Chains A and B, each alone.
Chain A
């Protein structure tokens, strides 16, 4: 069966879906937070948090409770309205981008046809990049309105980094879009029935992954929050709930990128070796693959040291961008020749 692209449900199902997706995203973030701290510990021959609750399972809860009960603080040099707005932009864009990750195809639930995704927009990847572009305002405005030089420097770095890497990220996906002949994410998953795109688009996958590390401000490209030079980067002056928002957005962005990688390169809800499980298994398959990609993110963070700033910029423009362009070009030629 082909994917039903551009299918819209009744309004009340859409609202229900929005709530469910927000809830799922909200539940996943503490899990990723804990997984990161535990895994980083194991990678460094430590144990990670193991005091709060069984095996430290309640550590994220304790962290969040601590952050939310802290006093709201604002430096006197900050610009109040933007200072409050910036974390909201960050969190909003992260949640919005989470909405298009398909957790499964259209299912029949209680006689209704429900797509297991927030929305199936016909411009899938562009939607993600659009919100990635807006997310940059969250970081930029936060750093700028803090009225602190470290925040400002962090924000400036974030601005330059996001712009340079978004280009390569987009170009890496162009190859996939050429091959799948569709921009809908469910369509791209359905087009991977024969072979996941990680095989024919392996270079695209590597480029996208590398650019995604930079896009989500994670090691080895976490220059925006290089603790050694910039105290904490753009969120230096933030504390309490607003800092929690930034933190939440950061981890949700990791999840979003994992979801995009899963959808675009790892075959979404498709299982390997032609196994066709019932429809309700699909979300778990997607979550499992997202977990693998998130593990890769944490693994890389535990391994690679932070790059110098000029290295980051020259790598983005001189290596990644030409490679991504070449990848798109070669794919385009191959698609034309084989069709």
Chain B
């Protein structure tokens, strides 16, 4: 049993140095009954004042359905598929790289050829079927990185619960649709 007032330097530790930012705990000797009683009362009073101070403060609770914590710009929420703004054509060319990159194997792409009469995307082919099974998705964002045309990005929507598993399979139309702005975005420096 070492003396509690011993510092680390005095212990002659040569094999390992904790460095400069070591915290040394200095313990005073155990107080006598009178001082212990006084300390108990003083610390109890201090604790009571601490909690009393909280009464005048505003609560930190975010009243969730009414208020929402704003998300960061890089927050990975529900996916979005994009179109070119000028031509309105889909950016996705059905290359299935996202499906290949997906660790959860939740993306299904069936590609089809664009024809002059039916031009859907800007490239040679387009995604005839594009489905993301959100009950399997782990929101890692690899699909976004894999995509050579920035056709798929992670949005900010995180309120995705549903009553049926099959409702969580999002089709191309659902992913292309402009999502309801349900999630506030955090401003710069907030």
Contacts and interface: CB of A to CB of B under 8 A. Distances in A.
Contacts of B55: 39, 42-43
B51 interface: yes
Nearest to B47: A303
Interface in B27-79: 44, 47-48, 50-52, 54-55, 57, 59-61, 63
Interface residues of B, number: 13
A42 B54 CA distance: 7
B54 A45 contact: yes
A191 B105 CA distance: 83
- Chain A, interface size category, equals 10 to 19
A46 B47 contact: no
A300 B48 contact: yes
A314 interface: no
Contact of A299 (B48, B57, B59, B60): B48
Given A45-B60, A47-B59, A304 B47 contact: yes
Nearest to B49: A303
B59 A303 contact: no
A339 to B, nearest CB: 32
Interface string A85-123: 000000000000000000000000000000000000000
Interface string A145-180: 000000000000000000000000000000000000
Contacts of A304: 44, 47
A302 interface: yes
B60 A303 contact: no
Interface in A281-338: 299-300, 302-304
B57 A45 contact: yes
A46 B60 contact: yes
A299 B61 contact: no
A52 to B, nearest CB: 14
Contacts of A43: 51-52, 54-55
Interface centre among A42, A44, A46, A304 (most CB of B within 10 A): A42
A46 B48 contact: no
B48 A303 contact: yes
A41 interface: yes
A299 B51 contact: yes
A302 B51 contact: yes
A45 B59 contact: yes
A41 B59 contact: yes
Interface of B: 44, 47-48, 50-52, 54-55, 57, 59-61, 63
Q: Give the top 3 A-B pairs by smallest Cβ distance, nearest first.
A: A47-B59, A303-B51, A303-B47
